[in-house]
């Protein structure tokens, strides 16, 4: 659902017809093609400080399976009867979370640990999805409740807890830090979408950059939060929120940007419109810089670890999209 929100905001920004200006030059981080599980596409969503990367890939048979990439090798994590799975996050202990299709065709949040796949269940509805896991093994994501609404959850010690909303019907938890603080987005009583910080049972509205739609994607151990928000002009920009203040991180020259990850040093990565198309970026010390892709028109930086290594995806000159690691 997080990727769906980002895509909708990006397409809306394109449709408003704002013309881009020149992008900043590419940063000298070398992109590495992580390959696929035999199919035509793959995408990475997270990596840990051991530079173990997770995501999903098409297989030779045409199914879509979660993968773990390490030391140059991509391993298929699929261990269930369904044809679809996706790994969204990995912690220091190599515990991996994501979503997998059940034998009955439903999609549930799952935890991969060693050779075991654990179904994390739901809040009473049919669907759930896990987006992040910290080193304590706490997991966050969203689940449908008995009424069919999407609700942010925190899963720990075998139990899934509903984190509530900012007054509206729905919420999604996208990230958490080592302290167990959780971020995501929620509908408000007024029908807007705002980012939230959940801290020890309290849900805090982080506000917007002036528009009505905003969402938080990640948080580090310094309680720095990143995401995207619409501005007064109605376009979505990446933001950094800290100590109650939300900072607009700008773009690479186009109307849209979204911040997807932040490490403990405050380095931020994400995706932004540029004159050549949507492009992965690294933001640090007040400057947003483009990351060189694999030769195609699109790239996206999904995660950055504390060593400054970045994982995401990039299109090749052939048009195929592959999971990518920048070092």
Question: What are 240-252's pLDDT values in tens digits?
Answer: 999 999 999 999 9
Residues of the chain with pLDDT > 90, as a percent, come to 88
DSSP secondary structure, 123-142, as one string = BEEEEEEEEEE-TT--EEEE
Q: What is the pLDDT of residues 253-311, one digit of tens each?
A: 999 999 999 999 999 999 999 999 999 999 999 999 999 999 999 999 999 999 999 99
Q: Report the pLDDT value the prediction gives residue 73, as an integer from 0 to 100.
A: 98
Is the confidence at residue 7, as pLDDT, over 80? no
Instruction: Tell me the average pLDDT across 78-92.
Output: 89
Average pLDDT, the chain: 92
From the options 1.10.3720.10, 2.130.10.150, 3.50.50.60, 3.40.50.10310, give the CATH code of 2-326.
Answer: 2.130.10.150
Q: Report the pLDDT value the prediction gives residue 9, as an integer from 0 to 100.
A: 38
Q: Report the pLDDT value the prediction gives residue 14, as an integer from 0 to 100.
A: 30
SS3 assignment, position 199: strand
Q: Enumerate the domain spans of the chain.
A: 2-326
Is the confidence at residue 153, as pLDDT, over 60? yes
**What are the backbone angles phi and psi of residue 14, rounded to the nearest 5°?**
-60, -40
State the pLDDT confidence band at 79, using cuts at 50, 70 and 90. confident
Instruction: Tell me the average pLDDT across 176-205.
Output: 97
Is the confidence at residue 2, as pLDDT, over 60? no
Q: What is the pLDDT of residues 141-152, one digit of tens each?
A: 999 999 999 999
Q: How far apart are CA 307 and CA 56, in angstroms?
A: 23
Residues of the chain with pLDDT > 70, as a percent, come to 91
Sheet holding 96-101, edge to edge: 85-90, 96-101, 107-113, 116-121
- β-strand partners of 123: 145
State the pLDDT confidence band at 17, using cuts at 50, 70 and 90. very low
Q: Report the pLDDT value the prediction gives residue 82, as an integer from 0 to 100.
A: 73
């Amino acid at each position: 659902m997080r990727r769906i929100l980002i895509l909708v905001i990006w397409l809306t920004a394109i449709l408003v017809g704002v013309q881009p200006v020149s992008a900043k030059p590419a940063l000298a981080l070398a992109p590495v093609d992580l390959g696929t599980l035999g199919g035509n596409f793959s995408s990475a969503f997270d990596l840990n400080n051991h530079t173990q990367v997770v995501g999903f890939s098409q297989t030779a048979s045409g199914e879509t399976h979660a993968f773990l990439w390490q030391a140059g090798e991509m391993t298929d994590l699929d261990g269930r009867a369904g044809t679809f799975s996706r790994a969204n996050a990995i912690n220091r202990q190599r515990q991996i979370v994501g979503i997998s299709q059940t034998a009955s065709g439903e999609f549930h949040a799952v935890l991969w640990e060693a050779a075991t796949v654990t179904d994390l269940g739901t809040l009473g509805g049919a669907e759930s999805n896990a987006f992040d896991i910290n080193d304590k093994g706490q997991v966050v994501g969203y689940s449908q409740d008995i009424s069919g609404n999407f609700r942010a959850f925190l899963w720990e010690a075998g139990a899934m807890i509903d984190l509530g909303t900012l007054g509206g019907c729905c919420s999604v938890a996208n990230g958490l830090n080592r302290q167990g603080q959780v971020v995501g987005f929620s509908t408000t009583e007024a029908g807007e979408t705002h980012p939230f910080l959940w801290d020890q049972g309290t849900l805090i509205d982080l506000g917007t950059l002036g528009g009505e739609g905003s969402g938080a994607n990640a948080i580090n151990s310094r309680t720095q939060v990143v995401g995207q928000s619409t501005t007064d002009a109605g376009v979505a920009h990446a933001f950094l929120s800290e100590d109650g203040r939300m900072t607009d991180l700008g773009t690479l020259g186009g109307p849209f940007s979204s911040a997807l990850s932040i490490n403990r040093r405050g380095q931020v990565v994400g995706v932004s419109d540029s004159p050549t198309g949507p492009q992965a970026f690294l933001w640090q010390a007040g400057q947003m810089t483009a990351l060189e892709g694999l030769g195609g028109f699109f790239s996206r930086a999904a995660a950055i670890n504390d060593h400054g290594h970045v994982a995401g995806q990039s299109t090749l000159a052939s048009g195929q999209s592959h999971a990518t690691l920048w070092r």
